[in-house]
Chain A
Amino acid sequence: EAGVAQSPRYKIIEKRQSVAFWCNPISGHATLYWYQQILGQGPKLLIQFQNNGVVDDSQLPKDRFSAERLKGVDSTLKIQPAKLEDSAVYLCASSTRLALNNEQFFGPGTRLTVL
């Protein structure tokens, strides 16, 4: 079974530029998560989807971050414009369902460096 795919793996941009990350979850997984992991910290949830609907985006900086999952499968996370503090690894995860105890499967992440 293929795991969670993410691209690109690495991205370097200058501040105020825009960037987009792509995630393809495990086939059949209805729930998709985007986490931000700053160096030396644990991942922090940005947004969570159930199929193509948003379940939780309370920690997404909506003035600059946006995400969509139009067909309920793959997802795109965008930052526009980027700031220096956005430098982090962006992790995508998926799970079979909405539940407190669901196991989340993580992709390899996209490492973003903002100069």
Chain B
Amino acid sequence: AQKVTQAQTEISVVEKEDVTLDCVYETRDTTYYLFWYKQPPSGELVFLIRRNSFDEQNEISGRYSWNFQKSTSSFNFTITASQVVDSAVYFCALSEERNNQGGKLIFGQGTELSVKP
């Protein structure tokens, strides 16, 4: 079973539209962390945000915002007023406490976002 599911394989929007990328996770641990990474065409994954399982406060950083809801096991990512430079593959990832000494990440399949001018 997938531990991290990103049901949207591809999303295409026009510049200035808002877009939400969905992430649903599965874990039996009470302590865990959720991450979002961006992978532009250059290939390097870039860290965007980290949340721990005890902090359900939503977070906003510029045009980016994240909505963490434990009740639905979701950690969704919204880009407001999207720009062409936001075009990339976005990954949601989970770091569980169980059998995980070193913080290995379990990634979703990724959502490819295309922002057209």
Stretch at the interface among A15-23, A61-69, A71-79, A100-108: A100-108
A89 contacts the other chain (CB 8 A): yes
Residues B102 and A50 in contact, CB atoms below 8 Å apart? yes
Contact for A55 among B42, B93, B102, B109, CB less than 8 A: B102
Contact with A along B92-106 (1 / 0, CB 8 A): 010111001111110
Chain B residues positioned under 8 Å from A89 (CB to CB): 43
Residues B32 and A100 in contact, CB atoms below 8 Å apart? yes
Cα distance, A100 to B37, chains bound together (Å): 16
Contact with B along A1-19 (1 / 0, CB 8 A): 0010000000000000000
We find that the number of chain A residues with CB closer than 8 angstroms to chain B is: 30
Looking at A89, A100, A106, the one whose CB has the most chain B CB atoms below 10 A away is A100
Residues B50 and A108 in contact, CB atoms below 8 Å apart? no
Minimum CB distance partner of B112 in chain A: A40
Chain B residues positioned under 8 Å from A50 (CB to CB): 102
Cα distance, A108 to B40, chains bound together (Å): 10
Minimum CB distance partner of B91 in chain A: A42
Minimum CB distance partner of B110 in chain A: A42
Chain A residues positioned under 8 Å from B8 (CB to CB): none
- Report A85-108 residues with CB < 8 Å from chain B CB: 89, 91, 93, 95, 98-108
A31 contacts the other chain (CB 8 A): yes
Cα distance, A111 to B41, chains bound together (Å): 13
Contact with B along A27-48 (1 / 0, CB 8 A): 0000101000000111111001
Q: Which residues of A contact B (CB under 8 A)?
A: 3, 31, 33, 40-45, 48, 50, 55-56, 89, 91, 93, 95, 98-109, 111
Contacts A3-B44, A103-B50, A105-B47 known; 15 new A-B pairs at CB < 8 A: A31-B103, A33-B104, A40-B110, A42-B4, A55-B102, A56-B100, A95-B103, A98-B103, A100-B31, A100-B32, A100-B33, A100-B97, A101-B50, A101-B95, A108-B42
Q: List 25 A-B contacts (CB under 8 A).
A: A31-B102, A31-B103, A33-B104, A41-B110, A42-B4, A42-B109, A42-B110, A43-B91, A43-B107, A45-B104, A48-B102, A55-B102, A56-B100, A56-B102, A91-B43, A91-B45, A98-B101, A98-B103, A99-B103, A100-B33, A100-B95, A102-B103, A104-B47, A105-B47, A108-B44
